[in-house]
Structures are given as structure tokens and as C-alpha cells.
Amino acid sequence: MLLTLKQQRRLHTVAMGALAWLVALLIFFPIFWMILTSFKTEIEAFATPPSLFFTPTLENYITINERSDYFHFAWNSVVISFTSTIIGMLIAVPAAYSMAFFETKRTNFTLQWMLSTKMLPPVGVLVPIYLLFKDFHLLDSKTGLIIIYTLINLPIMVWMAYTYFKEVPKDILEAARIDGANMLQEIWRILLPMTKGGLASTVLLSLILSWNEAFWSLNLTAYNAAPLTSLIASYSSPEGLFWAKLSAVSTLACAPILIFGWISQKQLVRGLSFGAVK
Amino acid sequence: MDTLASIDKAKESDSTGVSNAAKKNALISFFMVSPSVILLLVWMIIPLGMTIYFSMMNYNLLSPEDTWFVGWENFEYFITDDGFASGVTNTLILVGSVLLITVVFGILISVLVNIPFWGQGIVRVMLISPFFIMPTVNALVWKNLLLHPVSGVFAAISVFFGYEPIDWFSDYPLTAIVIIVSWQWLPFAVLLLMTAMQSLDQEQQEAARLDGASSLDVFRHLTLPHLSRAIAVVVMIETIFLLSIFAEIFTTTGGGPGYETTNLAYLIYSQALLQYDVGMASAGGLIAVILANIAAFFLVRIVGKNLTDNT
Amino acid sequence: MSNLTIKNLRKSYGDTEILKGIDLEVEDHDFVVFVGPSGCGKSTLLRSIAGLEEVTSGQILLDQNDITDVAPAKRDLAMVFQSYALYPHMSVGKNMSFALELAGESKDVIAKKVASAAEILELDKLLERKPKDLSGGQRQRVAIGRSIVRNPKIFLFDEPLSNLDASLRVQMRLELARLHKDLKATMIYVTHDQVEAMTLADKVVVLNAGKIEQVGSPIELYNRPANMFVAGFLGMPRMSFLTAQVASCTDTYVTIKLDAGAELTLPVQGHSLSKGSKVTFGIRPEHITVVEENAGMINTSVDASEHIGSDTFCYVKTTNNEDITIRTQSDCSVVDNSKIGLEFDISQSHLFDNDGIAIATRTTSVS
């Protein structure tokens, strides 16, 4: 029984689709398993062999704050990520505006240089930063981390805002100028409303990068300013059964970022690949 | 009637021909850009400067008074330290393996997912998810839930097929780290390559098929060359970030057993914050910076020149 | 009262000079069209008038006031862009009222002005829509409405019709002409389309490589082009040019010998010429008649012909391989590769000297 061309193509698509699904499920499996485990009791979580079917319980979520002071760490993550992002945007947007609309011969070089600062391995400056922070009492302080995160995310924010600004047709801004707008009015009433989607994803990317950052947060904080990354790391030397609770904490810690990431995936490519991939 | 003289005066410019308004613009843009530039300059120069300084000093936080200039000694000690050889080898293995896995599977997956099929959107979302998981969560989920030799999922599967479960972190710790990091970075490669795939010329493929090309031919002669730039970008960016892998090692193995999972970054960390040897750690840090710069040099060559091209 | 004077305007980008000394007068109520090939500087000139381009030297005077260094917002000019440049996140009504809001006008005044502009342009039903929900023609009208509302001294148009399809273009052309009459406004209009120039303009400014070739009414430029560039630019199909040499010349007549064969005597002032000078003979397609071979002034062979329904265009080659285009009746049945003769209407012909400058006809000094 020979298949017609149309049937061959259908089969091909279905087979490929099934394979794609299989691969995706395999890759997603650890996350799925983590979420699943968070609904188990500790005994269930440690069961051998691990069980797929069980009676779900919310006890891990309910007691999450009691055991691990979750809210303290979550709050730190929130404050640090949001503050560094806001400060970063306040510095980055004017820079991007100027580079997009007042381009000079030095603009490309400046952008290149800014992005290159992101390529510095953090270990290289671990020592001086640690010592500086010690001397300025910034160790284990939210302020300290905010400063660092603002600096390491600044290049990406400038870069992304720059690309979005460049996409605005020049003549719309000229029309605004002829209509009587000064520079501030041009930015506030025309440019920003037109680029709010792109700027939103810039903000999201910065939030994601700050939230997940796991070098400075591990080395420069102890408890007071420790964000969620540190909390989770502290589970690596556990006392007693803890897997279900770990899963619950992890799920809560990762959920918002997962959602942010899903929403803004296209724009993230732009930011993460420095525009080299279109 | 205006004379030529007054016409010239009307257009007040300096000798270079730049008008006042243009100069005003240049001034404004300078001020708008300078906060970012100054901050980043400070961020680069001061810590780097200090690292260079410390790398030449014998400076241990446990006995800060005994600090003196030692020239290249720290570098010597660092390179001849037990951990150094392992650190470098492990770094190379780690970076190389992850690159290989993520790029190869990244290409395959992005090709697979390119044809429209039912649920394509959901599949894509699932594929990119690992990238957004915190590195510490990533490490612990794998260590405890998946790779655990007693109650991990892998163990259960091994037992199901009648094999002894592997104690990954005792017997193959570096491999375990490679698995964890690859899983985290595969979505990055997939994401970038998927995007590059979308700019593939449909008509070119159709023309090739009419000319008699098979799927494999199309892949080899059209798809791969088109993706080559994206692949280069993926390799370069991953290299830079993979050189500094830290959190996964910190959370799972602490560099051990012995030095088996210590990479350069962790080595420097342990010397700085575990042994408090600032001098050595700085020397090591400088070496790490140089390595990263070499990789970055190539990345910037490929990517940097066209940053201001109209996207 | 809104007249514009431009004095010796020059504009350079780096080392390249785009505008090479423009002098121009635009009177109140004029519809002036800047026309020329791509790259001639017409858009740059318009944008310099608007203040969107920095001028390298020279002056722009609006009603005797020097606006050369004045910011675009303060020049009291309005511009309609080629791409319309509508604000995509604002409704039609807000697009039109934006400038007035910035100027601080009261809500009532703004509403009234927007309403009256919307009425003129038939946009009153569309005021709440966003630009992306409008057709090309509607967007163009909003762009015009945005300018009308400001009641500027001069309206500037930068190739506003080039993004419209052919039939819409004709319709909008008529609307623009009507608008000009109704508003009694001064308008400066840039286009590369010489049909638009001929139909809309009171005054046409032909630009070429940053210089003004000729300024005048459309008919003036058509019937008495100052040089070969203007002669060849206006008129569709193009004027045909034949090389020739002067056989004899006086103050009132010039006899030339075409390289293609014929000897013709033209009623032009020949005092700048001498026997043997190289000249160019120009004749428009509609001033040539097709006759039998050997029955006309010269013989040609037919390359191709196009029948567009109302006319026939014949493309022929002379014996010395020069091209001539003829416009004739639609029922003309000329066969490819056949030989035909041509009769020229000498009274409508043109003569250009070796530098391409037109030789004045005897009648110009009289009429």
C-alpha cells in the first residue's frame, strides 16, 4: 500500500510532531517532577521507587514560611530585583535614547564596550568587591546587591532599549517636533508609548536575570539580604527529610520567572544574543 | 539688501562648520550617555585595578598585617597548586561538553520544531523552560530528585531495567555537573537557533527540492550554513558564561570529591573565601579574566561590528 | 501674508554638497512644486525649510523674518510626510489635536478646529479610529488634517501621493487642488512625478543635482524649457533630441543640418551661434506627424509601437541610430521594421546649444 504524496506529508508531520512532543516532555520533565513532588508528603517524596500517583497535599505550601522563613527571602528577591531594574532603566533609557537618535561615530564603539563589560567573569573581581563591600559595610545588605545587579544588567538594558528605539520611524518623531514638541514631550508622549512593549520586555529580562543571579547573591549575603537563590542553596546540607518542602520552595521561587520568560521569549532572544540573531 | 557679510553672520557657526544647534544636541546626548558610561567604567576599572594590585601581594585575610609585595609569586603558586591542573582541565571539559551537547541537540531540536504541528506553541514553551529556573534550584532538583541513587527517578528507571543505579555524584560527579548545566543551557541554544531558523528562505528550500535535493541535502547545504552565524553566537556567548559556572558546583559538590568538580571559578572562590588567600585568589582571578577576554574578543569581532546596523 | 524667500542656501553632508546655492521666492497663495529626479535635493530643500535639516549656509526668510536658525516647532509651518507619520497610539482625533494641545489651546477651541478640519476632509466619522484601522487614502487625509488644524503660514508636502495606488492618486490630486483653492493657502509640494507637478502647480521649480534648473509656470516650462534637462524632464513621453550642426544663422533665423539628414530652418535668435556650431534639435512626440517614406523631412525605421487605446506611441530610429518618439492617433497602423517618414512642426520645436541651453525663439522677445 503506497501512500500518496499528501498522505506521506501528513505522516511526516505527525511523526515529527510526536517526536517533538516527546523531546519537549523529556526536557520539561525535571520541572514537572519538581512541581509534582511539592505536593507530596516527605515520606512519599522519598519513596523508592518514586511514585507518580499519590494523594496530593498542600501541607508543604502551607508550612513553607514556618520552616524556612520563605517570605523573608522572597521579599529580598523582590526588592533587589525590582529596585535594581528600576534604577537600571532610569539610567539606561536616556543613554539608549541618545544613542538611537543622536548617533555619533562613537556610538557603535560605546555599545560594544558596554556589552563587553558583561563578559567579565565575576570571579575575576570577587576579591576586590568582597573587600570593598566589607569596608563599606555592604556585605549582606540589599543595597550592595542592588548596586551590583544594576551594574551587571545595565549593558543589556541599554542595548535592548536602543534596539527598540531604533525601530521607531524617524519621521513620526519629526512630525512631533514640527507639531511643537520639545525633547521631553517627544520622549514622554510619543516615544515611550510607542515602545512600551519593548521596554516592558527589557524590564522583564532584567527581572529574570536579577532573580536568578547566583554568584554574587551566594557570596555577598548571609541572611539579612539573602534572596531566594541563597535560601535554596542552603538546602544542600539538609537536616532530615526535606525534599517535598524543597520542591515547594523551589516551585514558588521559580514560578514567576517561568511565567515572565514564557511571555517574553521573542524579545529575550534579542537581548540575550545582542541582536546577532534575528 | 543683505550683503554677503550679513548672510554669513546669519548662520553662526564656528570654523568647523558645526552649527550651534548641532553642538547643543551633542552636549545633551553626551550627558544622557555619561551616567551609564561612567558607572560601567568605575565598575570595570576599580575592581580590576584592585585585583591586579592584590595579585602581586601576599595578602591573607587571616593575617592582614603580613602584607607585602611578592611580584609573580602568587601566579606561580596558583599554577603549581594541586587544584590548578584539575581546575583547568575540568573547566575545559565542562565548557567543551556543554557546548557540544547544547549545540548539537540545539540544532536538531530547532530543526524538529520548525515545521508546524499541533501544539507547537506549547512544545516551544516547554523547551525553553529550563533556562528560567534558578541555577541553585536546578542543581538541587537534579541532585536529589533525579540523580539520587536511591530514590531518584534515574535510579528507578535503572532498577526497572535491572541495572544497578549509578551514584552519580560519587562516581561521575563531573558528568553530573555537565548534565545539570547542559539541561539549563540547551534552551538558550534552542531559543536562538529557533529564531534563526525562522529567517530561513522558504523559496530557496523549495527550489532545492525541485532540483532534487533530499531532506538531508537541504539540511546540510542550506540549513546549516544559514545557521552558522547563530551557532557561532551561541558558542561564543555560552563559552563566556560557562567559564564562570559556579552556583551548580557550590550547591551540589562543593568542588569535590577532591578536586574532581572544581573548575577555575570555584578554585578561585575557595581560595578567596575559604582559605582567605586574597593574593592567590586575585592572581587566579586575573587568569580567569584573560581567558574570558580571549573568548570575548572573538565574540565581539563577530557580533560587535554590526550593533548599530538597522535591525 | 506668508511669503518665503530663500537666499543662496547651501547644505552639505560631510564632504558632499547636496544643495548648491538655492535662491527662490515663494509668494503668498502660491502652489509651488519642487520636482526633479531622485537625489536632486528636493526633499532636502523642503526639510531645510521645515527646520528638520541643518543648513550649512544661506538664509531662509518667512515674511521677512529670518527663520534659518529657528526650531521647527516655532516656524509656524506644517508638513505632510510621505509615510504620513501618524502617531500610531493615538486616535485620528488626537493625532489632529496633538499640536494644539502642545500649544496650550483650550479644549473648546481644539474641538472646533479639529471638527472643521475633519469636515473638510470627510474624516468626521473616523475621529475615534486608530491609524492602523484606516486605509492609505484615509491616513493621508489625517496627515493633511493634522496640518490644516494648525493653520500654518505654509503647508509643506513631501511626496504625499507616492504611497497611493494609481486611481487613488488621481482622486487625491484633485482634492489637493481643491483644498488649495478653498484654504487659499501657500503650499510647497515635493514630487518626482512630473504629472503631479504639471497639474497642481502655480509655479514649478525644477531641481537637478542640488541646483535650480528653471522656475516658472507649468506651461512656461513645458513650452519654453530653459535647457535640455528641463525639456527632457517634463512631458510624457519624453522630447526627442537630435544632434545637428549650424549651417547658417542670423538674428532671426537659424538653419541647421541634422546628423540624421534633413536641413531645417528654425525661427530662433542665432546671435550666439556660428556656422558649424554643434547644436541639439528637440521635438515633442505630439509635434511629429507620420508620413510615407521619403515624403517627410527625414526617414526612419520603426522599432516598436505601443497602442494605449487613446493614442499610439511609435519608437523609431533614424539612419544615424538616434531615437525618436512619436505620439499619433490610435488607429495608426505602423508595422515594425518598416520605413516611415516624419514631418516636424518647426514652430513647436526647440534648439539647444552645445551646453544644453535653449536658444531663445524669435517670438519670446515679442509676445
Same domain, yes or no, for C35 and C157? Answer: yes
Torsion angle of C-alpha atoms C125, C130, C133, C134, degrees rounded to 10: 60
Q: Does A224 touch chain B (CB under 8 A)?
A: no
Query: Distance (Å, rounded) from C-alpha A175 to C-alpha C345?
Result: 50
Decide if C360 is inside a domain: no
Q: Reading across the β-sheet that carries C263-266, which strands appear in turn?
A: C263-266, C254-258, C240-249, C278-283, C350-352
Query: Distance (Å, rounded) from C-alpha C181 to C-alpha C256?
Result: 46
Same domain, yes or no, for C101 and C217? Answer: yes
The closest alpha carbon to B224, from B74, B137, B103, belongs to B103
Decide if C367 is inside a domain: no
Which residue in the set A16, A50, A110 is minimally distant from B115, CB to CB? A16
Decide if C50 is inside a domain: yes
pLDDT of residue B256: 74
Decide if C359 is inside a domain: no
Residues A161, A162, A167, A172, CA torsion sign: positive
Decide if C362 is inside a domain: no
pLDDT of residue C325: 93
What does the pLDDT look like over C166-191, one tens digit per residue? 888 888 899 899 989 988 889 999 99
Per-residue pLDDT band at B5 (split at 50, 70, 90): very low
- Tell me which long-range contacts A100-107 makes (C-beta under 8 A, separation of at least 24): A100/A162, A100/A165, A100/A166, A101/A165, A101/A173, A102/B25, A102/B26, A102/B28, A102/B29, A103/B308, A104/B26, A104/B29, A107/B308
B-contacting residues of C 211-240, CB under 8 Å? Answer: none
pLDDT of residue C288: 92
In our burial notation (b when 16+ CB lie closer than 10 A, e otherwise), range B71-106 reads eebbbebbeebebbebbbebbeebbebbbebbbebb
Query: Distance (Å, rounded) from C-alpha B270 to C-alpha A212?
Result: 22
pLDDT, averaged in runs of 10, over chain A (278 residues):
77 86 91 86 74 78 74 90 94 90 81 82 85 87 91 90 88 89 87 88 88 89 86 72 80 86 76 64
Per-residue pLDDT band at C35 (split at 50, 70, 90): very high
- Structural domains counted in chain C: 2
Which residue in the set C85, C102, C150 is minimally distant from A174, CB to CB? C85
Q: Which residues, listed in sequence order, are joined to residue C300 by a DSSP beta bridge?
A: C318, C340
Per-residue pLDDT band at B218 (split at 50, 70, 90): confident
Domain A70-272 in CATH 1.10.3720.10: yes
Q: Is the pTM of this model over 0.80?
A: no
Q: Which three cell numbers stand for residue A184?
A: 521631553
CATH of the domain at C278: 2.40.50.140
Q: Does B134 touch chain A (CB under 8 A)?
A: yes
Domain B72-306 in CATH 1.10.3720.10: yes
Query: Do residues C59 and B11 lie in contact, with contact meaning Cβ atoms separated by under 8 Å?
Result: yes
Decide if C74 is inside a domain: yes
Cα-atom radius of gyration of chain B, to the nearest Å?
27
Decide if C159 is inside a domain: yes
Query: Distance (Å, rounded) from C-alpha C277 to C-alpha A128?
Result: 86
What does the pLDDT look like over C130-163, one tens digit per residue? 998 999 889 999 999 999 898 889 999 999 998 8
Burial of C119 (0-12, 13-18, 19+ CB in 10 A): exposed
The closest alpha carbon to C343, from C287, C279, C301, belongs to C287
DSSP H/E element including C66? strand C65-66
CATH of the domain at C215: 3.40.50.300
Query: Distance (Å, rounded) from C-alpha C348 to C-alpha C367?
Result: 15
Residues with Cβ within 8 Å of residue B75, at least 6 apart in sequence:
B55, B283, B286, B287
Whether residue C286 has pLDDT greater than 50: yes
What does the pLDDT look like over A213-255, one tens digit per residue? 988 998 888 888 888 888 888 777 665 557 888 888 888 888 8
Q: Does A232 touch chain B (CB under 8 A)?
A: yes
Q: Does C59 touch chain B (CB under 8 A)?
A: yes
Q: Which one-letter amino acid corresponds to residue A212? A: N
Same domain, yes or no, for C148 and C74? Answer: yes
Residue where one domain finishes, among candidates C227, C247, C262: C227
Query: Do residues A28 and B126 lie in contact, with contact meaning Cβ atoms separated by under 8 Å?
Result: yes
Whether residue C234 has pLDDT greater than 70: yes
Which residue intervals of chain B bear CATH 1.10.3720.10?
72-306
Q: Does C5 touch chain B (CB under 8 A)?
A: no
Task: List the single residue in B with minimal CA-CA distance to C67.
Answer: B10
Residue where one domain finishes, among candidates C227, C254, C273: C227
Residue B246: list chain A partners with CB under 8 A: 122-123, 214-215, 218
Task: List the single residue in A with minimal CA-CA distance to C76.
Answer: A178
Query: Distance (Å, rounded) from C-alpha C300 to C-alpha C344?
Result: 13
What does the pLDDT look like over C84-107, one tens digit per residue? 889 988 999 999 999 888 888 899
Helix extents (H) in chain A:
5-38, 42-45, 59-62, 64-68, 70-101, 107-116, 126-135, 142-166, 170-178, 183-185, 192-212, 216-220, 228-233, 243-263, 265-272
Task: List the single residue in B with minimal CA-CA distance to A148.
Answer: B43
Per-residue pLDDT band at C208 (split at 50, 70, 90): very high
How close are the terminal C-alpha atoms of chain C, in Å?
Answer: 32
Whether residue B50 has pLDDT greater than 90: no
Domain range enclosing C343? 237-352
Q: How many residues does chain A have?
A: 278
Query: Distance (Å, rounded) from C-alpha C326 to C-alpha C307?
Result: 12
Work out the mean pLDDT of chain C and round it to a whole number: 89
Q: Got the DSSP string for A23-70? A: HHHHHHHHHHHHHHHHTS-HHHHT-SSPPS------HHHHTHHHHH-H
Query: Distance (Å, rounded) from C-alpha C153 to C-alpha C28?
Result: 9
Residue B17: list chain C partners with CB under 8 A: 12, 56
Whether residue B8 has pLDDT greater than 60: no
- Taking CA atoms, C281 is separated from C219, C357, C362, in Å, by 20, 11, 16
Q: Does A103 touch chain C (CB under 8 A)?
A: no
Decide if C358 is inside a domain: no
In this complex, do B11 and C68 lie within 8 Å of one another by their Cβ atoms?
yes
Residue B40, Cα to own-chain centre: how many angstroms? 19
